[in-house]
Structure 1
């Protein structure tokens, strides 16, 4: 019984870390563990193989759990972190290194990362959207306040800025441009999002687009006066992020 349990446990431990066959390992490991326990309680029989079966089953289960967590983590990253590519405004396409997923920590100085941001006019593309920052008006408080008489002034020490974008939907079906996230990240690391201080925006970026359609409009941000920083674009609900220099 101990020998059978040990063989089953070894097979389970091996199969549990084989992609596509892990479920078989999850079935075999508890069987090997149970057979090992049965062997331990059989009187008059050697206990060595039964003990080994129990130990291998436990170790195999730990390995199987670690493998499962790794696979789930990779799947989660693939689902929620899409690759972003940056095409220069001068017509030069990004290299493979430059088109890495700039939202990941190991992207280094890829174009579009915080260390090496894209520029105004560059085309930033994800799985669903292609976005171009056409311009950035740092002090647009007068324009925003004139857009609607009920707009509140920006917080003390801040001013309204306007980001003009052209967004082209390249995914399937249709989607709302509202899913594109726009934020200002100061050099000190503070993040100011477009919805942190809402106002009626002049010529806003809005609407639903089908594949191939484009829209151009403004997004307002209440940024600190005189603060240096970068724009951060998030391309869709689960899209990758990319940084754009505005100065």
Structure 2
């Protein structure tokens, strides 16, 4: 190779006579070091470093945050659907927890976790609102049902005359409703807890009238005529004889001398044809004992055309002489239309050989 550089040339890289290569001149002689043309070297001529730009790296992903956001979003959707609220309430807490965990991960994006937390909280609030709306609607429908709906009959509205209705719809004249008749009553005080109790017998003499959602107020008075306490029972008084029982909670040290009963008057009765009004039939009542209380079991059968919810069973206990010595009541969850449901209750502090009577009503 022919030197193409003057001996006085300073040290450096110069064409080496081979296309695409350079050789290092140390200022006095050629060295054995070669390199490709254009390569950047460090300050030391003995080390050749090639400078290459590193490819830009991918942005980190927060997989857990993405999962949390997806779970929260699905829960939010279900929370808005009345029939699928439970699914939303299961998913939203999961999305909330995953969002918090995703938010705590180092070196990962945070926005997915934050979004999951926000969606979970908002979804929960909406779910509560939807639940309240559903419950409120159900209660409103239940309260709005009239007694005639319950017994499967209808009454003629005000302002309607027989001449206004088609001939096929005309009904025979119906006798006016009669007042309820108060029968036997009883009361007492439980020595152990100081609470009073009462039993009231009411007879509805009307064959084709019922008293719907009737309020029956029972007042306890002492010997001086002072009103001690009042208890109110609500129910539908069907045709025939019924018993209503309850308790006085604020007797204290007072002594009950007598009770008075206030109930609905005849003008509160609702027409309901006897042929269409439903009724209940009590099955056999069995009793037993456990510790110092009496266990009572029985069945009730309905011939109503619709299911009846929360049917109340009022019980009275009579001793061998026929005197009422205790009362209690219970509810059935549902009595199917034309079906039978079981019920049971425990009677405290009554003789275990007492005779039990039960009276169902709406």
Band of TM-score, shorter chain: 0.3 to 0.5
Structure ID, larger Rg = 2
Determine which structure has the larger strand proportion and give its number: 2
Q: Under a length normalisation based on structure 1, what TM-score does the superposition of the two structures give?
A: 0.43
Q: Under a length normalisation based on structure 2, what TM-score does the superposition of the two structures give?
A: 0.31
Q: Which structure would you say has the larger RCO, counting Cα contacts within 8 Å and 6 or more residues apart?
A: 1
Determine which structure has the larger helix proportion and give its number: 1
